[in-house]
């Protein structure tokens, strides 16, 4: 059996769901293919922080992409919640970046001054002011910077709502399915096979997250994305009010009384094991910030695989040699915050050929990139 579609999107995380949502808005017949349950891989394993002012990208293409994407969220959340009835738990208390050392103070003074110049609401807090906001914090806190415009939400519920709203707009969602075979003619993909069904498509989007390399190989493409495991846990606690961040450690309060604690970055292939060593480390770092958590019940723990790109930026481009294949992957730890703008830009690329932001900085690397310098974060590039 053969069916037809304007666009086939491979990958049902928040990136694929966003692309399908925007395409359906433009009356594109869209099929979304997800090998497991939509939104339950990297999308569900994140903490849901919409970090721009508090993020590491200072003033380059990734920063501008994040800034534009964050601005889409308030209206997007309202529409998704109205359409689906799902509470995405969009919370606006902001992020507290904690200061404990001289090095912290120097780093955050520079970031604070930059963000103020860029127009972000940022407040430099003394130790007493921080503890008035978060009374349970350790007495060793020197201060904090409050980035009140960096909000957070429930990433799992966002993914669920996006899929449901997309289906309401007419997106056909195949779950528990993979693309098994493709046919190419004259530099174009003509059809893809999903199970026993062949789908004839005008455009194919590879948005398969940490599995994008494997999907790309089917198309004869080399997509240099590898999985970066992040282990996390949640505890039951009501004494955390804001997102608390210190170095690569964060605590994120949920509406149900959970506090999400994360996270690691491990390059171990597609291994999703949760280890005692890591759980112990996450607990220890949490107690170091909030000693009163020692009696908090453990709610659950998990890991997810984030799609890491060697460019430290997402890859958003047309596939070389295949004029109707588009790549949208490599978002690593920025998938949640970047999902709305990614969906909008890929939709524009498909429907008009003229995305509203330049995608040139997000092309496939033309040659192998050198490894990161020792001590440099893999998270973001300016």
For the chain, list residues with pLDDT below 50.
none
pLDDT digits (tens, 9 = 90+) for 183-229: 999 999 999 999 889 999 999 999 999 999 999 999 999 999 999 99
Q: Which domains does the chain have, with CATH numbers?
A: 2-84+155-224+310-362 (3.50.50.60), 95-149+227-308 (3.30.9.10)
Predicted local confidence at residue 14, as pLDDT: 97
pLDDT at site 225: 96
pLDDT tens string 305-317: 999 999 999 999 9
β-bridge mates for residue 194, sequence order: 179, 197
Q: Judge contact between 21 and 343, C-beta under 8 A.
A: yes
Measured distance between the N- and C-terminal CA atoms of the chain, rounded to whole angstroms:
47
Q: CA–CA separation, 286 vs 358, rounded Å?
A: 40
CA distances from residue 132 to 54, 55, 128, 149 in whole angstroms, order as listed: 21, 24, 6, 19
């Amino acid at each position: 059996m053969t069916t037809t579609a304007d666009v086939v999107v491979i990958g049902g995380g928040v990136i694929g769901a966003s692309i399908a949502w925007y395409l359906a808005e433009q009356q594109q017949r869209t099929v979304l293919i997800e090998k497991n349950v939509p939104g339950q891989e990297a999308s569900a394993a994140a903490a849901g922080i919409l970090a721009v002012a508090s993020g590491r990208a200072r003033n380059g293409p990734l920063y501008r992409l994040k800034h534009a994407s964050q601005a889409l969220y308030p209206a997007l959340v309202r529409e998704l919640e109205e359409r689906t009835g799902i509470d995405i738990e969009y919370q606006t208390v902001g992020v507290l970046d904690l200061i404990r050392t001289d090095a912290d103070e120097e780093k955050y003074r520079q970031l604070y001054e930059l963000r103020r110049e860029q127009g972000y609401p940022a407040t430099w807090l003394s130790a007493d002011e921080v503890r008035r906001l978060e009374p349970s914090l350790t007495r060793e806190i020197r201060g904090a910077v409050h980035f009140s415009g960096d909000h957070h939400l429930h990433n799992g519920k966002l993914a669920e709502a996006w899929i449901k709203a997309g289906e309401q707009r007419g997106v056909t969602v195949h779950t528990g399915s993979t693309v098994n075979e493709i046919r190419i003619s004259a530099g174009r993909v003509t059809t893809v096979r999903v199970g026993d069904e062949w789908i004839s498509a005008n455009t194919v989007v590879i948005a398969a997250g940490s599995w994008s390399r494997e999907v790309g190989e089917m198309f004869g493409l080399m997509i240099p994305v590898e999985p970066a495991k992040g282990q996390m846990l949640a505890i039951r606690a009501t004494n955390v009010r804001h997102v608390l961040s210190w170095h690569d450690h964060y605590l994120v309060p949920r509406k149900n009384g959970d506090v999400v604690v994360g996270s690691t970055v491990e390059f171990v292939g597609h291994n999703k094991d949760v280890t005692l060593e890591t759980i112990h480390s996450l607990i220890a770092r949490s107690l170091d910030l909030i000693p009163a958590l020692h009696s908090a019940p453990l709610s659950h723990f998990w890991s997810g695989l984030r799609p890491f790109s060697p460019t430290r930026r997402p890859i958003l481009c047309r596939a070389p040699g295949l004029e109707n294949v588009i790549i949208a992957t490599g978002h690593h730890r920025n998938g949640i915050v970047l999902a709305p703008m990614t969906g909008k830009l890929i939709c524009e690329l498909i429907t008009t050929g003229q995305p509203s932001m330049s995608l040139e900085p997000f092309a496939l690397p033309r040659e192998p990139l050198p490894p990161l310098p020792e001590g440099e974060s893999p998270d973001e590039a300016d």
